[in-house]
Amino acid sequence: MRVNADFTKRVAVHFDQNEWVASPSAGVERKMLDRIGEEVARATTIVRFAPGSAFAAHTHDGGEEYLVLDGVFQDETGDFPIGSYVRNPPTSSHTPSAKEGATILVKLHQFDPEDRTQLRRSIIGKGNTQLFKDTHEEVRVLSLASGETLDLDATQGLELFVIDGSLRESDEEFATWDWLRLPPGTQSSATAGASGAHFWMKTGHLAQMV
């Protein structure tokens, strides 16, 4: 399966225009943002867990990174409420579930193979904060006030996911849970809407994909 797999192109996916697709696990649905592969895939996905749903125990050979958007996500190490940002490095394993339901943004098989950093942070109350940085990538959460503009340096690629509020890039409006991917070599800017914008952004990680 290949979804938005040409990393030389700008890609925008709007939450309300993207359909939920059932996963192999009962009660778990996905909105695919990009994907290369079948069930074991390099993928960026919004995943919705119905109350009581779960995935079987599995190992993340290529690492897993997720942001909890709604509800409480769980595994054997604890509960991860809305606003939790988690990195499970290559070779890590767990049994994810959501007793009361949850929605997450998750990226799979995209880590540096040598990365062994386990990270758990909350973005609640965080305006402009670096969540993670190594030689492979940088991950931040940012906030813009109404009408404020941010230059987007996608020299080595950039992904942006709107957590709350709205912003405009290239004359396109992005609202809550919308996603934008800019290819390496791109320079752009984003301007916050009337209620401001709170968003997750990753840079430096796509040069090897083109």
Domain boundaries, the chain: 19-122, 129-209
| pLDDT on residue 196 | 98
Averaged over 77-104, what is the pLDDT? 94
At the fourth CATH level, which superfamily is domain 19-122? Jelly Rolls (2.60.120.10)
Determine whether 182 is exposed, middle or buried from the number of CB atoms within 10 Å of its CB (0-12, 13-18, 19+): buried
Domain 19-122 identical in fold to domain 129-209: yes
- pLDDT class of 138 with cuts at 50, 70, 90: very high
Give the integer Cα–Cα distance in Å for 51 and 39: 22
% of the chain with per-residue pLDDT over 90: 83
**pLDDT greater than 90 at residue 56:** no
**What is the Cα–Cα distance from 129 to 170, expressed in whole angstroms?**
25
Cross-strand bridge partners of residue 86: 66, 120
Rounded Cα gap, residues 43 and 203, in angstroms? 16
pLDDT of 112 > 90? The answer is no
The overall average pLDDT reported for the chain is 95
Confidence of residue 58 (pLDDT cuts 50, 70, 90): confident
Picking from 11-20, 104-113, 173-182, 183-192, which range would have the lowest pLDDT averaged per residue?
104-113
Residue 108 is predicted with a pLDDT of: 94
Q: Does 33 have pLDDT greater than 80?
A: yes
Return the pLDDT at 57: 86
pLDDT of 55 over the 90 cut: no
Task: Measure Cα distances from 73 to 78, 155, 201 in Å.
Answer: 9, 34, 21
pLDDT, position 209: 87
What are 175-197's pLDDT values in tens digits? Answer: 999 999 999 999 999 999 999 99
Residue 164 has pLDDT above 90, yes or no: yes
Q: What is the mean pLDDT of residues 60-88?
A: 95
Average pLDDT over residues 14-20: 97
| Prediction pTM value | 0.95
Does the pLDDT of residue 115 top 90, yes or no? Answer: no
**CA 115 to each of CA 83, 87, 123, 132: distance values in angstroms, whole numbers, following the listed order:** 23, 10, 22, 12
pLDDT of 41: 85
The whole-number pLDDT of residue 119 equals 95
Pick the CATH number of 129-209 from 2.30.30.90, 3.30.429.10, 3.20.20.10, 2.60.120.10: 2.60.120.10
